[in-house]
Amino acid sequence: MKKMFRTAILSIALVGLSTSFVSQAEAAGGEGPKLNDNKILNVSHRGASGYAPEHTIASYELGEEMKGDYIEVDLQMTKDGELIAMHDETLDRTTNGTGLVKDYTLAEIKQLDAGSWFNEKYPEKAKPEYAGLKVPTLEEVIQHFGKDERYYIETKSPDVYPGMEEELLEILEEYNLLGPNAPSSKVLIQSFSPESLKKVHQLNPDVPLVQLISYKKPATITDEQINEYKKYAVGLGMSYTKIDQDYVQKVRSHGLLIHPYTVNEKEDMQRLLEWGVTGMFTNYPDRLREVIKSHN
């Protein structure tokens, strides 16, 4: 029932988008929505996951306390079509369950313990309250943090989950997180899948998108590739270990944002800022905050 309501709301919103106002993309001369590139974004990767079990409310709360600008939420989809916050396609690493997320209902996944693995793996960081933490749905995350938080959401394995983009946009619409707010956007959507991002762009061209790229070797990028990404994305993300200053400056010279992942050491953060990145993903948003402060 809730889903039917959301679908109706999304349909109305999509019609509205196409008829009632000039999109950020059009306003920007067809280049897509713009973000403020003077602001260095501190993205809490899976929450402050250096200190708490990733993708739990506890981890996201720490990210907020440590003044991260966005909390990063990776999405998987349950057998009954609910979007949950989880990095892996399988339950094994971060819960006491086993098997594929897509083979379990939300009710079944809610029985699992998503925190004890962290206490066992990192005894020096363990806390009794982490034991028994639940896997949150995207809706629960948004309900908990509301519109005061910003969300950097990744569509994971979109080929495994047909319809995940529609479901994601329905939820964001329902909680009023979309709209012509690109310069200070509450939501960024990222994916390694160009198809997934292009689908989101087609459904709603006002949502700022970041194309993730997986490089096996030191990264290079051509003007043609950048121009292709610019058709739908406002920025690129890639492993910081694969890039150099020339790469960063080339991306920036085309006006795209660049948010490398996952940067946990202060020396690396400092070097990337000197190269000109516009933000980064870190498991330690407190460290990045200190480095950004001393860089400014």
Number of H helices, E strands in the chain: 12, 9
Concatenate the DSSP letters of all residues of 243-257 into one string.
--HHHHHHHHHTT-E
Nearer to Ca ion, 69 or 154 (CB): 154
What residue 237 binds from ligand G3P, Ca ion, none (CB within 5 to 8 A, per partner kind)?
A: ligand G3P
Nearer to ligand G3P, 64 or 74 (CB): 74
Tokens of 74: 């990776």
If binding is defined by CB under 6 A, does position 69 make contact with ligand G3P? no
Nearer to ligand G3P, 130 or 152 (CB): 152
If binding is defined by CB under 6 A, does position 281 make contact with ligand G3P? yes
Kind of pairing between the strands at 83-85 and 151-155: unpaired
If binding is defined by CB under 6 A, does position 136 make contact with ligand G3P? no
Tell me the site size for ligand G3P, rule CB under 6 A. Answer: 10
Tokens of 62: 């720490």
Instruction: List 73's β-bridge partners, or say none.
Output: 153
Q: Do 181 and 99 touch, CB atoms closer than 8 A?
A: no
Provide the binding-site residues for Ca ion, judged by CB under 5 A.
74, 154
If binding is defined by CB under 6 A, does position 54 make contact with ligand G3P? no
Nearer to Ca ion, 115 or 237 (CB): 237
If binding is defined by CB under 6 A, does position 49 make contact with ligand G3P? no
* Chosen residue from 177, 212, 243, 277 binding ligand G3P by CB under 6 A: 212
Please choose, from the candidates 291, 269, 281, 294, the residue with its C-alpha nearest in 3D space to the C-alpha of residue 45. 281
Please choose, from the candidates 57, 198, 71, 63, the residue with its C-alpha nearest in 3D space to the C-alpha of residue 133. 57
Whether 87 is a known active-site residue: answer: yes
182-211: which residues touch ligand G3P (CB under 6 A)?
Answer: 190
Mark residue 254 as left, alpha or beta (left: phi above 0; alpha: psi -120 to 50; beta: remaining).
alpha
254-273: which residues touch ligand G3P (CB under 6 A)?
Answer: 261-262
For the annotated catalytic residues, the residue numbers are 45, 87
Q: Where do contacts with ligand G3P occur on this chain (CB under 6 A)?
A: 45, 74, 87, 154, 190, 212, 237, 261-262, 281
